Amino acid sequence: KPEYRKFCEENQCGCYNVNPACPPECGTVETMKQRVFAYEKALILQTIQSKDMDYKMAKLAHNKLTEQLASKIMESGNTDLLIMSAG
């Protein structure tokens, strides 16, 4: 959502100019929208945090599993991936 970009510019999550999926490297909202809509399929992954796991541990576990899955997909020959996350 374009209105969320102000949170990025204020670096409220600490990822501004650090994570390639975040501004400014990811491009404008319109650029991001065009990239996403170029794909015909999406796979949405969700991690449900257990009571004995804090947020950072859950996020790290989710990211590691996502990276492992992406590696397997690329090994099978499909290298055109766009990985996005929200948290």
Distances (CA, A) of 25 to 38, 40, 45, 68: 19, 24, 23, 23
Ordered DSSP codes for the chain = -GGGHHHHHTTSSS-TTTSTTSTTTT--HHHHHHHHHT-S-------PPPTTS-HHHHHHHHHHHHHHHHHHHHHTT----------
Domain boundaries, the chain: 1-38, 41-87
Q: Could you read off the pLDDT tens digit of each residue along the chain, which spans 87 residues?
A: 788 888 888 998 888 888 877 889 888 989 988 989 999 888 888 888 888 878 888 888 888 999 999 999 999 998 888 887 775
Cis peptide before 2 (omega within 30 of 0): no
The pLDDT of residue 57 is 84
pLDDT at 87: 58
pLDDT at residue 75, rounded to an integer: 95
